[in-house]
Every structure is written in C-alpha cells, then in structure tokens.
C-alpha cells in the first residue's frame, strides 16, 4: 500500500521515466496493493469477551434464558433512558417488531412507504395483510418525499411507514401534518437511526411508533433484536402481550399473538454494548470526516454532510456516483473495489418496487418513482465502523480517486 501522503510525483521520481504512459490508470492502480483480508461494508461491534462470560454466568445462575427475564427488563430500562423515550419494548428482531407495530395500531388496507429501503419494510406490511404503496423519495436525503404522499392517499390508506434511511431523519414535521390531516397512523422504520436526535428531540419520539433494528450489522445491536418506542404506554402493554402469544395471564389469552421475545443472551450483549456505544459513534464520526476530507473534490462523487441540529449516528457512509462526471458507473466502481478486496454494498438496489414479489403493485410502473430509481443506480455504501484504521480509509479513498481520474 502507498504510504500516507505519498504524492504521485514522488512515485514517478528516481528510476521511473515520467511518460504519459506511466499515467495510465492501470499503472497507478497496480501500485496500490489489494487488502490481504477482505474489508467488508461493516464489522459488528463486539463486547469484551470476559465481560460476556460474566453475564453468561449470571444468566446460568438465574436459570432463566428467556420469557421477559431480568436482562431483558434491565435493557428495556437502560435503552429507554439512552434513547430518551418513555415507552420501549424489546423483540427478537426488528421485522417481527414492525409486524407487531402494524397489529397494535389495527392497520388495514394500504400503507404508504418508501421503495428505497431494505426488503423487511414492505415485507412486514405484507405479512400484516397490508398493501405497500410506494412513494418517491427526496433527492437530498433519499427519505420519503412528503410532497409525494398526498396524491397516494386513498380511502383505503391507514398509515404511513417512512424510513430514516442511513439514519438521516425524515421530514418528520411535514409527515405528521399530513398524517393528522387524513387521520393516518405513522410508524417510522428507524432501523438505521439508533441514537439520532432532531433539534434535541429523540428520533423515537416522532410518529405513533418507531422501530429500531438491533441486528449485528447495525451501529448498536443485540446480535439479533428489535425495539419499538411508543407514543402511549397503552401501546407498549399491547405489544408486550402480542410478543408473548397474546397471553394476558395464565388463564387469559386475549389476542392471537406471536413469539417475538428477546432472550437473555441477546439482552446481555445489548447491555454490554450500551457501555461502549458512545465511543463507537464518536469513532464513526471520525471515520466519516476522514472519508469526507479525502473524497471531497472528486468530480461526480457526492456524499451526505451532517445536517445542522441533527445528532447523527454515522451508521453508513454512502457515496453517490454520477457516471458522466466520475468517468465510471457505480457498478464499475463496485467491481473495481472488489479487486482490492473491498466489499461495498449497493444499498438500496434494486428498489423494493422492483422485487419480483412487488411487481404487481402500481408503483412498479416505469417512471413513477424517478428520484428513487436514479438514486438506486448511483448509490454505493463504503465500509464503515468505528474500528477502521485511518490507513484503510486512506487506501479506499486513494483507489476511488485514481480510478475516477482515469475515467475523466
Ligand atoms: C430499513 C430496515 N428495516 C428493517 C430491517 C429489519 O430489521 P431486522 O434485521 O432486525 O429484522 C432492517 C435491517 O435489517 C433495515 O435495514
């Protein structure tokens, strides 16, 4: 790998003959060695193994592995205060949490959502017998465009399910106004938005319910897991019952519930990671800033900047590639990075509206989601986690820069 700060002029000095042929991209790319180990888009945050063993021992001694045990109850309390919300419940994963959210709000018919998301968002709707109606996104945030919502509302619409994509907050005030005007419920898929705040208000305080995924690929996790935050304690009571088969007490099963319970081992990991999450987010902020500094002036490459008044969590580092300006398409860059053992992700390509199972929905028509379609073809998520070395980020940026300059 090239040493930090090595300028191309230095590479060409000494015994190298400075000819235009040497400026060929192939030559420059060959000077950068591939990573010996794969660099994946993320790496799970892991607690100290010795601390894990202490917690496991406590669980063994308690002889309670699941069913709302002490670890789960403690994590609910601690997460509630970390996320600054009054009503929070934990689940085995975020997808089942979304389904339970739909059920307790008694949704029916159509739900307006975004196609620019992970498959779980529309899938959770369909598993709840609801019809996803895909709404286009804003070009700046790639979140649901509030100006496109109203025209999709029909007498059959019961709710809006926006997603805070990459942890960037949706236009929460505008969305709430529309929901209020049409008496619609709002469930935020906040899978990416752990710990995010808008003007001092926690992200989980918007809408009727928010869902946080606690999957191992997320900023904060419990291996697998999910959390719902509710705007009313009554909703928490309902959700707690539904995650446990609808059991109210030993002799009263009052709802056809499901099994959505988080277990004690998951909660133990969650408790330990809560001790180091602030440090992880701070480290991610530094990674994001290094990426920004080193990718800043590459034509045809753009990225998100911090939004004033928003506390970010730096969950992902997406870049957007304008093929003409950059000189290569997003897909070409994706393939080029693979040659260096760097595995980026095309989140979110294909759009959910393009999935085989959703092609029968109206929004799958050509041209009805122009902003989302364009973004899906241009976005690439670079490796991001709090333990990435500055040299790794430097090499990734260098490869992108050299690859781009050749194309222009
Ligand atoms: C936007 C979004 N929604 C929902 C989910 C589903 O969460 P889980 O994997 O915890 O079921 C995920 C991630 O996995 C996601 O990225």
127-179 residue pLDDT tens: 999 999 999 999 999 999 999 999 999 999 999 999 999 999 999 999 999 99
Higher pLDDT, 25 or 157: 157
Ligand 1: centre distance to CA 11 (Å):
45
Q: Are 298 and 233 found together in one domain?
A: no
**All residues at 6 or more sequence positions from 145 whose CB lies less than 8 Å from its CB, including other chains:** 135, 136, 137, 138, 371
Q: What is the DSSP letter of 37?
A: S
**Atom of ligand 1 at shortest distance to CA of 225?**
10
Given 224, 240, 274, the domain boundary residue is 274
Q: Is residue 299 part of a domain?
A: yes
- How many domains does the structure of the chain reveal? 2
Q: Are 200 and 63 found together in one domain?
A: yes
The reply to whether ligand 1 has any atom less than 6 angstroms from the CB of 42 is no
The reply to whether ligand 1 has any atom less than 6 angstroms from the CB of 138 is no
Q: Are 175 and 320 found together in one domain?
A: no
Q: Which of 408, 396, 219 is nearest to 323 (CA)?
A: 408
**Predicted pLDDT at 271:** 98
**Predicted pLDDT at 29:** 74
**Predicted pLDDT at 293:** 98
Given 274, 297, 320, the domain boundary residue is 274
Given 239, 274, 309, the domain boundary residue is 274
The reply to whether ligand 1 has any atom less than 6 angstroms from the CB of 121 is yes
What are the Cα distances from residue 347, in Å, to 117, 138, 351? Answer: 8, 16, 9
Residues 101/107, Cβ–Cβ less than 8 Å: no
Print the domain residue range for 115. 49-274
Q: Are 213 and 179 found together in one domain?
A: yes
Ligand 1: centre distance to CA 213 (Å):
5
Specify the residue with its C-alpha closest to ligand 1, atom 16.
Answer: 118
**Atom of ligand 1 at shortest distance to CA of 214?**
10
Query: Taking the C-alpha atoms of 278, 279, 282 and 283 in order, what is their torsion angle to the nearest 10 degrees?
Result: -150
Pocket test for ligand 1, best of 118, 203, 381 (most atoms within 8 A of CB): 118
Q: Are 96 and 139 found together in one domain?
A: yes
Q: Which of 202, 144, 206 is nearest to 180 (CA)?
A: 206
Q: Are 305 and 190 found together in one domain?
A: no
The reply to whether ligand 1 has any atom less than 6 angstroms from the CB of 92 is no
Whether pLDDT at 25 is above 70 = no
**Predicted pLDDT at 5:** 36
Whether pLDDT at 106 is above 50 = yes
Number of H helices, E strands in the chain: 14, 17
Ligand 1: centre distance to CA 2 (Å):
37
Residues 1/33, Cβ–Cβ less than 8 Å: yes
The dihedral sign for the CA sequence 106, 110, 115, 119: positive
pLDDT, average across residues 23-27: 61
The reply to whether ligand 1 has any atom less than 6 angstroms from the CB of 94 is yes
Query: Taking the C-alpha atoms of 7, 295, 343 and 218 in order, what is their torsion angle to the nearest 10 degrees?
Result: 140
Q: Is residue 2 part of a domain?
A: no
Query: What's the mean pLDDT when you consider all of the chain?
Result: 93
Beta bridge partners of 211: 189, 228
The confidence band for 364, taking pLDDT boundaries of 50, 70 and 90, is low
Residues 395/383, Cβ–Cβ less than 8 Å: no
**Predicted pLDDT at 32:** 86
**Atom of ligand 1 at shortest distance to CA of 120?**
4
For residues 37 and 283, give the distance between their C-alpha atoms in angstroms, rounded to a whole number.
22
Residues 215/190, Cβ–Cβ less than 8 Å: no
Whether pLDDT at 3 is above 50 = no
Q: Is residue 1 part of a domain?
A: no
Q: Is residue 194 part of a domain?
A: yes
- Token couple for 247: 């059991």
């Amino acid at each position: 790998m090239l040493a930090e700060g090595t300028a191309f002029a230095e590479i060409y000095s000494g015994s190298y003959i400075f000819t235009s042929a040497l400026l060929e991209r192939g030559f420059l790319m060959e000077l950068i060695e591939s990573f010996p180990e794969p660099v994946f888009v993320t790496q799970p945050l892991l607690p100290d193994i010795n601390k894990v063993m202490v917690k496991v021992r406590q669980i063994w001694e308690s002889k309670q592995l699941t069913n709302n045990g002490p670890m789960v109850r403690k994590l609910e309390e601690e997460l509630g205060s970390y996320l600054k919300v009054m009503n929070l419940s934990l689940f085995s994963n975020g997808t089942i949490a979304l389904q339970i959210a739909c059920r307790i709000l008694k949704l029916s018919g159509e739900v307006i959502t975004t196609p620019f998301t992970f498959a779980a968002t529309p899938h959770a709707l369909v598993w709840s017998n609801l019809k996803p109606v895909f709404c286009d996104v804003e070009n700046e945030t790639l979140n649901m465009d509030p100006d496109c919502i109203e025209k999709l509302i029909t007498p059959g619409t019961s709710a809006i399910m926006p997603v805070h994509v990459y942890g960037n907050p949706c236009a929460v005030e505008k969305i709430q106004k529309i929901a209020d005007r049409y008496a619609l419920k709002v469930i935020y898929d906040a899978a990416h938005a752990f710990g995010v705040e808008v003007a001092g208000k926690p992200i989980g305080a918007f809408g009727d319910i928010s869902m946080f995924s606690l999957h191992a690929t997320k900023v904060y996790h419990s291996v697998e897991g999910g959390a719902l935050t509710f705007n009313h304690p009554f909703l928490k009571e309902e959700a707690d019952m539904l995650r446990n088969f609808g059991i109210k007490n030993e002799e009263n099963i009052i709802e056809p519930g499901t099994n959505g319970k988080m277990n004690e081992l998951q909660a133990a990991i969650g408790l330990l990671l809560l001790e180091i999450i602030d440090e992880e987010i701070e480290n991610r902020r530094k990674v994001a800033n290094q990426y920004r500094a080193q990718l800043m002036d590459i034509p045809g490459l753009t990225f998100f900047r911090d939004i004033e008044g928003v506390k970010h969590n730096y969950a992902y580092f997406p870049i957007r590639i304008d093929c003409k300006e950059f000189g290569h398409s997003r897909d070409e860059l994706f393939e080029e990075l693979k040659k260096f053992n760097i595995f980026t992700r095309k989140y979110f390509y294909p759009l959910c509206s393009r999935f085989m199972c959703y092609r029968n929905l109206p929004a799958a028509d050509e041209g009805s989601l122009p902003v989302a379609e364009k973004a899906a073809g241009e976005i690439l998520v670079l490796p991001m986690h709090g333990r990435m070395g500055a040299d790794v980020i430097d090499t990734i940026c260098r490869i992108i820069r050299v690859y781009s300059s050749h194309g222009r």
